[in-house]
A and B are shown apart, each in its own frame.
Chain A
């Protein structure tokens, strides 16, 4: 009986201890103060941002410089100003800080360059609005003065299904080639980019590489892992004739990846301007005050194992000329037509 009392008293102590441990909620690592939020943001990026070494950024120095600008009594907007400037140092379009009153951003990758795209001109003179078709978010028609199919796809966030692709490619089956215009397409779902690319190859091939951080150190990465671009199922429409992809600085993220993949195919030419880049797959986290931060977490590489964070050069570099625009002509589309029809 004495032994039982010992067992029971030990058990009771155990129960009380464990329940107490869980009843006391562990504190957050960072506090909701200007310094706490700053430290949280700096630490999230320090441990998880993937381009410090590639961009040769001294993140410790940045911390010292920007933390000195904090004050306990600063307002949210003042704090946001400091944090936004600090994030701007990363020069990364995938880095954002979302607050109820503003979004910190780096958009120099397209704002500092010619747009090389006039959507109104394309809609009026090439898609001949309203005389074009829409399959999911693909705007398409056969161009007026030649036997070339034209597709405008404005966002990889807008889903495109296999049935949509079958219909569009069937409509262009007898065309001499297709122009896929992804100018100003800021990205979206990588899986959509791969679903579209799958229609232009009959063989599976390694289209690039991906890696991820394995720890908080700036150089803690996994090995490069190959990304295989698969061909669409045999019963799906494929297209083997020339394909011109139109690009500009507004092509970012998943669009950049789409162009990187398509550039590997022999019947494909990238025509227009250099892409905007954005090869880091973004993750999100949150500051103690609830502001959300987005950042590049997993770098992606082309088939040469090179970063495409700062964009991809086109096969044929062409800019929109003011004279052509004034005459209702899209210089880049015209150059794509020429390439499809002549191969040059």
Chain B
């Protein structure tokens, strides 16, 4: 199964490489364009709803905190039409059961790298579409449990990365709206067997069947990020909304972690940089 997955991943990335190779060669006589890095650091806070049959039958609802770093830049290939995106998330959540006497704690780290192709429309709207690879790891912890106090979450997936952006100029102040969607399609993830203890995995070493091939029938994740960047001094204030869906159903074990968070942060001055001549922006 893992071999098949590797083959699929390889084919998809080869396909991406082929598409890139089909791009017209850069005109070397043209003026060299700048490709500034657009990075942002945001803090998010919101609500989370978590569940994992391996730990409990109950749902746990509570707060979630996160730190998001995003790095975007127009690629050096593709005549300015390809955008590279890196995203690193660190999240922690804590929830209570409905009777408010049992808790679940979650923590995760996720990294995604995407490559998006740009379509620019005369009305000023830019649509970017491409693929991304996502790696994530974390754990859920129920302090009251005996030999199943925690369960690990490891996931690798490739999927779609879609973005739409638009900039309004209000009194010459460029305010950039952006919606981004991550939609993993296929990958692999770790999940202990229905009643398997971590003792059995780590001490006797029974690791059979703990990695599953993931697709929408047993794993559905999605990320929806809406941001508004407002120039503020030398930087830009970023406010937004981050919605994340993480679900799986493997070996009769259902897991979900939904979060809806408000985010605030600082980003590089998108409008200002982009308005300079001879620059390529991942937003414009």
Contacts and interface: CB of A to CB of B under 8 A. Distances in A.
B195 A19 contact: no
B204 A298 contact: no
Interface string A47-83: 1101000000000000000000000000000000000
Interface in B117-149: 121-123, 125, 127, 142, 144-149
Interface string B146-179: 1111000000000000101000000000000001
A15 B224 contact: yes
A47 B53 CA distance: 11
B125 A210 contact: no
Given A15-B179, A18-B243, A294-B146, A216 B59 contact: no
Interface in A162-181: none
Contacts of B142: 284, 286
B59 A25 contact: yes
Most buried by A among B144, B146, B195: B195
A44 B197 CA distance: 16
A194 B205 CA distance: 14
A50 B258 CA distance: 32
B102 to A, nearest CB: 5
A190 B203 contact: yes
Given A19-B243, A32-B99, A281 B125 contact: no
Could you say which interface size class chain A belongs to? 35 or more
A137 interface: no
A29 interface: yes
Could you say which interface size class chain B belongs to? 35 or more
B57 A48 contact: no
B40 interface: no
A147 interface: no
B29 interface: no
A225 B204 contact: yes
A227 interface: yes
A212 B195 contact: yes
Given A282-B146, A284-B146, A25 B196 contact: no
Determine chain B's interface SS by DSSP, over half rule. loop
Nearest to A210: B200
A283 interface: yes
B109 interface: no
B67 interface: no
Given A4-B123, A288-B58, A213 B206 contact: no
Interface in B32-77: 49, 51, 55-59, 61
Contacts of B145: 283-285, 292
B98 interface: yes
Contacts of A213: 193-195
Contacts of B101: 100, 290
Contact of B204 (A26, A226, A286, A292): A226
B147 A282 contact: yes
Contacts of A191: 199, 203
B227 interface: no
Interface string A181-205: 0000000001100100000000000
B57 A25 contact: no
Nearest to A5: B123
A30 B179 CA distance: 37
A305 interface: no
A22 interface: yes
B245 interface: yes
Contacts of B256: 26
A204 B222 CA distance: 47
B226 to A, nearest CB: 8
A47 B54 CA distance: 12
Contact of B203 (A216, A227, A282): A227
A9 interface: no
B98 A32 contact: yes
Interface in B65-117: 97-102
Contacts of A294: 146
B251 interface: yes
Contact of A214 (B148, B181, B195, B199): B195
13 contacts: A11-B179, A194-B203, A212-B194, A212-B196, A213-B194, A216-B194, A222-B193, A222-B208, A282-B146, A284-B144, A284-B149, A286-B58, A298-B200
